[in-house]
Structure 1
Amino acid sequence: MPVISTNTAANTAVRFLNRNSTEQSSSLAKLASGSNINKASDDAAGLAISTKIGTDVAALEQASTNASHGISVLQTADGGASNIADIVERMKTLASQSASGTVTDKERTYIQAEFSQLKDEVDGITESTRYNGQSLLDGSSDFSVDDTKTAAVANAGSNASVTGGVMGTTGTYTNSTGSAQTATLDINGTTVSFGSVGASGGTLTAAQVATAINDAKIEGVTASASAGGALTITSTVNDLEIANGTGSDAAITAATFGLTAATTNIAATATASYTNSGTEDQSGTIMIDGTKVEITAEAGATITAQDMATQINTALKESGNYTVSASVNSTTNQLELTSITKGENATVTLADFDTEGGLSLATLGLTAGTTHGTTTEVSTTGADIVVGSTSADTINLSIEGLTAKDLGIADLDVSTKDGADKALSVLDTAIDTISNARAEMGATMSRFEFRSAQIDTSVENLEAAKSAIADVDIAKEQASLSSSTVKVQAAVAAASQANQMPQNLLSLIR
């Protein structure tokens, strides 16, 4: 009904005017900022997602920079390693010259002078190859690898062992008491139980005792029983310690088995040797890291582990192989073949070549095969470079030390022909070490390059995803602005008309 106290039409027109004006302002804000989300109420979920994507993009952009720095560090280190490789190559040339019979000891003295200077220059380059003030190749930087490396050592001498006593003449223990007995022995700290020996007439044989000891799986300990019943216990790793156990009857002790309750020192009784019991000389050729080594044993003679070591070292030296040496372990009295290189790449390979003379790896107590060195990571294993949006996205950047000591060339001397012969062999190993280190650098550098390319792709895709959420669609928003502008103009006109309606009603009471 027509009233003049309440202008309902004007109120309605103003309400729509305010709404249309708000839409117009929102469109203008989006067009002016270029963003589809100017306040949380515009799109709360979209704001959260776009903000997270934005932080990931920022982190990835820094990660790209980190990867570039990692590549720069490796390029710097590789440049220094390349120069060291050139120096070692020159050192090998000098060693070859000194090893030649065409020069005398006087000329070798001159050669040694340059050789010594080049060793010093190797250390000079390792120290002066720096990045951000850190020497990269001398093992002192944050990128250095502090690993524990073990040389490859092939053990031999199967006769190096400790043997216990024998169990009686018949190899059988008979329980003559009126009650069951439980027999045990402590062997190298492990308690071995031989079960219950029945009352009067119960027996325990040497074979049963040997089986129980073997079933206990004590490191390096084996037991056997001969056809005549003699029990033998052998230890090839540790001293052999035999102690009385705690059976139900104190009468069953080590002595019951013909053994002595005591510790036998393995080094004192080891007999790493080979005896030629025939009437003719014996020989055999084995291969040590590709070098032929002939071992001989005269008729009726015994060659000890030290004799074998001497023959092996002489043969290796005559063949120019100084990377492997033979020695006798002072603890086990076993023959050991040791590589001068260390770590996982270090190996000692043994194989038979010619066994027609009667001697082979097996008869000498050696085992055919390849023994590897080991590398154990400890506290310092290089630096982890962040190459992603989280702390877990890292690439380890580690650089091996290449000092003269690390390369094993610090003590080389070419002032004599023997020293030059040794240097030729050792320098080959040093070149391999440098090549392996450079290969590791190149592999890590390649990884950084691929990760950098992946980061660039991720940044591009994430920015596109963020744009789809947060950036305004100009064409769409301009159309919305045009619509809201027309609506505002219409609402203003309507409000003006509504304000005239009460005036028109007053004409009725004039």
Structure 2
Amino acid sequence: MSRINTNVNSLIAQRILTNQNKELTTTLERLSTGSRINRGGDDPAGLIVSENLRSQKAAIGAAIGNAERAEQVVNIAEGGLQEISTLLLEVQSLVGQTANDAGMSQEEKEANQLQVDSILQTVDRIAEATSFQGTKLLNGNFDFSISGQDSSVVDYEIKSAKLNTGDTRNVQMIVTASAQTAGLYVSLGGTSLDLSSNTATFEFEVAGTKGARQFSFSSGTNTSAVAAQINSFTDVTGVSAVASSTGLYLNSNEYGSTEFVSIDVTDNAGISAANAGVYTMSTTAQFTIDTTSRAALSTITNAVRDEGQDLGAVINGVTATADGLTARISNEFLDVEIELDQAGGTALGAIDAFTITGGGAKFNLGPNVDIGNQVSVGIGNIAARKLGSVSTGYMDQLGAGKSANLVNGDLNAAQEIVNTAIKEVSTTRGRLGAFQKNVIGTTIRALGVTLENTTAAESMIRDTDFAAETANLTRSQILVQATQNALSISNSNPQNVLALL
């Protein structure tokens, strides 16, 4: 080189040294921070993707925390319900003891009543005291609220309903098939028994879901007297009777396919009226005799039996499962059970049952805040005045001086109320347990796996590969040193021209 004003080799070496220093700085930064992307210029596309993944991680982590918090709420509610269940079993025992009337003194009955009163007060106290961070769980605070309840709706239970903020949901029920009791008609040819002789007896057995009873009547007995005798054992058989001008209607006390009525004539005593016999009821109309189904009294060798029919219904476009007069649907957006009265359950047509206006315990168990990730669970009021049903009565009726008290009240009604209350509490516990196991538990596990995979994806994009970067560090250090030596040589080359002077 014979020029000294411009040292091209030095300029090249300076440029390369600057680039090598930048690479070395980048490598040292990645090794010291552990992140491959420290600013947008490191990898613009990778930065966008990794930030989105970080956002997803934060949302998933919040959802896992929400699910864990929901599990804590359910655990506290379960603790209160478990204690109430124990108390109800104690009341059941006290009712059974008091029913042993001949073996119980008045003082013992009064002592048992004192225990029941104390238990009822404790149930109310637990319902009021069970809370999570000051929010009461068992006093109806998390029950759903409704408006516009139709008069044919006897009772209802909203177990779950998803509603957007401020939204309401109309619940419409279409009765497609009438509920029926089991029923038979026994034609006897008149208002009194006309047997073959004064010494003959008409003998038959009536059976229902609760049991069976044998009856025997002499000639001349009015059908009304026969019905009265059958009705005196309705608690034993589950069957009631109504006298007509020519015979008897036998019907189960409850509606539904699990109910039945049967009659087995063991001695027809020569009843010979033209239409005498046992008839079943129409399957399409309640209390309507199927005149083609006659079984003559003289030809009956086995019991004639009829079964009830469950309600057929569609609720909000979903075919409901039914038991007697009660229909239920259960899906992601609505889980509701509705009980109709006799008129509503036996007449085909549409019923605007009610409108859900809000309520329920809402949990957001997904990464996105929307109705798809929300779960809403109804927890009813577990106070004594709410435990029971419209048809049987409520637990507060077992209190002193009430209709089902243990001293002089109706113990049959008391036991039915307690049985219903125990079933209600057990059902609530089972429903919350299923929610805890199948919804919360599954959600936590699924979100945990999702969080792991999302974290792994974000790490692949953003984190430093130390094996590669340490190799880059060694390479950069060597190149920087080599470039510095090259620059030093380039800078000293112009001095060679001095040899020409």
TM-score by length of 1: 0.63
Deviations 1:15-64 (A, max 9, x none): 11111111111101111111000111222222122212212222222222
Taking the aligned partners of 1:365 and 1:400, their CA distance within structure 2 comes to 40
Query: What is the DSSP-based 3-state SS (H/G/I as helix, E as strand, rest coil) of the residue aligned with 1:97?
Result: helix
Deviation at 1:291, TM superposition (A): 4.9
Deviations 1:168-199 (A, max 9, x none): xxxxxxxxxxxxxxxxxxxxxxxxxxxxxxxx
- Amino-acid identity (%): 26
Taking the aligned partners of 2:367 and 2:229, their CA distance within structure 1 comes to 61
Taking the aligned partners of 2:104 and 2:325, their CA distance within structure 1 comes to 39
The 8 Å contact of residues 277 and 301 in structure 1, kept in 2 or not, is answered as no
Q: Which amino acid aligns with 1:473?
A: D
1:300–1:77 CA distance, 2 compared to 1 (3 A): same
1:107–1:274 CA distance, 2 compared to 1 (3 A): same
Which residue of structure 2 lines up, in the alignment, with residue 186 of structure 1?
none
Taking the aligned partners of 2:55 and 2:74, their CA distance within structure 1 comes to 29
Query: Which of 315, 329, 336 is the equivalent residue of 2:233?
Result: 315
Deviation at 1:92, TM superposition (A): 1.1
1:335–1:498 CA distance, 2 compared to 1 (3 A): farther
Query: Which of 384, 388, 392 is the equivalent residue of 1:404?
Result: 384
Taking the aligned partners of 1:65 and 1:397, their CA distance within structure 2 comes to 18
Taking the aligned partners of 1:442 and 1:152, their CA distance within structure 2 comes to 24
1:291–1:372 CA distance, 2 compared to 1 (3 A): farther
Query: What is the DSSP-based 3-state SS (H/G/I as helix, E as strand, rest coil) of the residue aligned with 1:410?
Result: helix
Which residue of structure 1 lines up, in the alignment, with residue 446 of structure 2?
454
Deviation at 1:293, TM superposition (A): 8.1
1:45–1:506 CA distance, 2 compared to 1 (3 A): same
Which residue of structure 2 lines up, in the alignment, with residue 12 of structure 1?
12
1:362 maps to 2:271:
no
Deviations 1:42-101 (A, max 9, x none): 222221222122122222222222222111111111111111111111111111121113
After TM superposition, list the pairs within 5 Å mapping 1:174-185 onto structure 2: none
After TM superposition, list the pairs within 5 Å mapping 1:155-194 onto structure 2: none
Which residue of structure 2 lines up, in the alignment, with residue 427 of structure 1?
418
Taking the aligned partners of 2:411 and 2:9, their CA distance within structure 1 comes to 112
Computing the radius of gyration from Cα coordinates, the structure with the larger value is 1
Which residue of structure 1 lines up, in the alignment, with residue 261 of structure 2?
352
The 8 Å contact of residues 187 and 278 in structure 2, kept in 1 or not, is answered as no
The 8 Å contact of residues 205 and 212 in structure 2, kept in 1 or not, is answered as no
Taking the aligned partners of 2:189 and 2:420, their CA distance within structure 1 comes to 41
Taking the aligned partners of 1:152 and 1:32, their CA distance within structure 2 comes to 68
The 8 Å contact of residues 383 and 396 in structure 1, kept in 2 or not, is answered as yes
1:373 maps to 2:326:
yes
Which residue of structure 2 lines up, in the alignment, with residue 74 of structure 1?
74
The 8 Å contact of residues 137 and 402 in structure 1, kept in 2 or not, is answered as yes
Taking the aligned partners of 2:187 and 2:221, their CA distance within structure 1 comes to 7
Taking the aligned partners of 1:18 and 1:490, their CA distance within structure 2 comes to 13
Which residue of structure 1 lines up, in the alignment, with residue 462 of structure 2?
470
Taking the aligned partners of 1:30 and 1:296, their CA distance within structure 2 comes to 100
The 8 Å contact of residues 338 and 348 in structure 1, kept in 2 or not, is answered as no
Taking the aligned partners of 1:414 and 1:483, their CA distance within structure 2 comes to 93
1:127–1:293 CA distance, 2 compared to 1 (3 A): farther
Query: What is the DSSP-based 3-state SS (H/G/I as helix, E as strand, rest coil) of the residue aligned with 1:406?
Result: coil
Which residue of structure 1 lines up, in the alignment, with residue 62 of structure 2?
62
Deviations 1:403-454 (A, max 9, x none): 2233222213233566112212331222111111111111111131232233
Taking the aligned partners of 1:106 and 1:493, their CA distance within structure 2 comes to 112
Deviation at 1:494, TM superposition (A): 1.5
Query: What is the DSSP-based 3-state SS (H/G/I as helix, E as strand, rest coil) of the residue aligned with 1:369?
Result: coil
The 8 Å contact of residues 285 and 360 in structure 1, kept in 2 or not, is answered as no
Which residue of structure 2 lines up, in the alignment, with residue 135 of structure 1?
136
> Which ranges in structure 1 are unaligned for 5 or more consecutive residues?
154-218, 221-235, 237-272, 328-333, 340-345
Deviations 1:223-254 (A, max 9, x none): xxxxxxxxxxxxx9xxxxxxxxxxxxxxxxxx
1:96–1:415 CA distance, 2 compared to 1 (3 A): same
Which residue of structure 1 lines up, in the alignment, with residue 433 of structure 2?
442
1:128–1:360 CA distance, 2 compared to 1 (3 A): farther
The 8 Å contact of residues 10 and 495 in structure 1, kept in 2 or not, is answered as yes
Query: What is the DSSP-based 3-state SS (H/G/I as helix, E as strand, rest coil) of the residue aligned with 1:469?
Result: helix
Which residue of structure 2 lines up, in the alignment, with residue 50 of structure 1?
50
Which residue of structure 1 lines up, in the alignment, with residue 161 of structure 2?
none
Q: Which moved more, 1:101-110 or 1:273-282?
A: 273-282
1:418–1:81 CA distance, 2 compared to 1 (3 A): same
Deviation at 1:118, TM superposition (A): 1.8
Deviation at 1:275, TM superposition (A): 7.3
1:382–1:452 CA distance, 2 compared to 1 (3 A): same
